[in-house]
Chain A
């Protein structure tokens, strides 16, 4: 999909595979996420939104960023944790809508997705 050095953590790239688009996000030193570039809620292009570290709170009140990344949809601002495909803090039965994740491998300097 790309070379390892082309993206920094938090950067993303849109790849077209036939009629579909994939959003490829670097989520760590050796980790990437590839998800459909269409929100499972109402179909907006996720690449028009924002990739950011997931917000949590310290001392019950102060914003603090986690290491994990989420993509925030441009419509409705639904968040998807790119490590799970679920909305943050909405695992299990509450993971709705779920963003399907494809397995991405780092092979040397190549970032590879096998379908």
Chain B
């Protein structure tokens, strides 16, 4: 339970936000993979329940130096269950603590990361989605969901999207910010076509298996600083493999990968398009146009420059203030508070866009 002081802080926070909030990155967690057993048919169920059963997705190679581990310390549960696995604690610490109209659940379960046994990965994705609908979406109308898929079989992933994509609280398909493949390749097109067919966005988020451009550096601080490289690579892949030309209505959310690199990447995309377009003539517009019109970014982790006005100038450099969508990343250690994360130097209308309007438009929630 939160302390009285924490509850007072939260009440003050609600008042400071100044209007409704949409939080696009809240992690619901399994207590253990055995929770999926009731949602699996054989032969897959016993792969989990048997002695020496499957232990879960690839583990994280780093030990966490943070005081609460992966979670913010006050979100750690007393019973040892993973932070984010308790709906009650989530409601207390984020859903009710701030004026959240919606929280988009992003999980941390990425069957695409299973490099082996692709049929098992497909079954796990379906089981996870059924577990998510029964154990989270049914409890609270404010919760919206990202569904899991196993992208290694794009046609099967598309069938899974068609199976659960019409649930009224499902708003996007989750993909890993993976360093192992370019998920914008034409091979994966059926998956994106299914997302568009079901009016869902497609999101990228880091996983335990995300590597930097230099692999796994010695320290967690290096990894955490460098991983935005992977979102950049995936975005470059989507543009130059022509996924936005193939699917003009495709909406892509880049979640927790940073956003202040965007001006540099847009300039570099457009410069290289001027030089090397002849290699990819299926790309019919300037790359930065696709990014401005089809791609949204989460705000967390909000950068913290010495002069916050420099952060505000990013919008002018990008040429838009509609791409940035607020996120807390609850329950993780680098949680951004809705009332504190956006610098006071930002104009009130831009704050409102970040906290609510941009996500409402991107996810078609109005």
Q: Which residues in A have some Cβ–Cβ distance to B below 8 Å?
A: 55-57, 60-61, 63-64, 72, 76-79, 87-90, 94
A-B CB proximity, top 7 nearest: A57-B282, A55-B281, A57-B281, A77-B275, A55-B278, A56-B281, A60-B282
Main secondary structure of the interface of B (DSSP, over half): helix
A79's contact among B186, B277, B284, by CB below 8 Å, is which? B277
Task: List the B side residues contacting A57 at CB < 8 Å.
Answer: 242, 281-282
**Max chain A CB contacts within 10 Å: which of B186, B282, B286?**
B282
Q: Do A60 and B275 touch (CB < 8 A)? A: no
How many pairs of A and B residues are in contact by the CB < 8 Å rule?
41
Interchain nearest-CB distance for A10 vs B (Å): 16
| C-alpha gap A85/B90 in the complex (Å) | 58
| C-alpha gap A61/B189 in the complex (Å) | 13
Look across to chain B and name the residue whose beta carbon is closest to the beta carbon of A90.
Answer: B286
Task: List the B side residues contacting A78 at CB < 8 Å.
Answer: 274-275
Look across to chain A and name the residue whose beta carbon is closest to the beta carbon of B278.
Answer: A55
* Contact residues of B between 30 and 72, Cβ < 8 Å to A: none
Q: Do B281 and A79 touch (CB < 8 A)? A: no
| C-alpha gap A75/B8 in the complex (Å) | 63
Look across to chain B and name the residue whose beta carbon is closest to the beta carbon of A63.
Answer: B281
Q: Do A87 and B281 touch (CB < 8 A)? A: no
B276: Cβ under 8 A from any A Cβ: yes
Task: List the A side residues contacting B282 at CB < 8 Å.
Answer: 56-57, 60-61
B245: Cβ under 8 A from any A Cβ: yes
Q: Do A61 and B274 touch (CB < 8 A)? A: no
| C-alpha gap A55/B284 in the complex (Å) | 11
Look across to chain B and name the residue whose beta carbon is closest to the beta carbon of A75.
Answer: B275
Task: Enumerate 23 A-B pairs (CB-CB under 8 Å) in ascending A order.
Answer: A56-B282, A57-B242, A57-B281, A57-B282, A60-B245, A60-B282, A61-B186, A61-B242, A76-B274, A76-B275, A77-B276, A77-B278, A78-B275, A79-B274, A79-B277, A79-B278, A87-B274, A87-B277, A88-B277, A89-B285, A89-B286, A94-B286, A94-B289
Besides A55-B277, A60-B246, A79-B277, 20 other A-B contacts (C-beta < 8 A): A56-B282, A56-B284, A57-B282, A60-B242, A60-B282, A61-B242, A63-B281, A64-B281, A72-B278, A76-B275, A77-B275, A77-B276, A78-B275, A87-B277, A89-B277, A89-B284, A89-B285, A90-B274, A94-B286, A94-B289
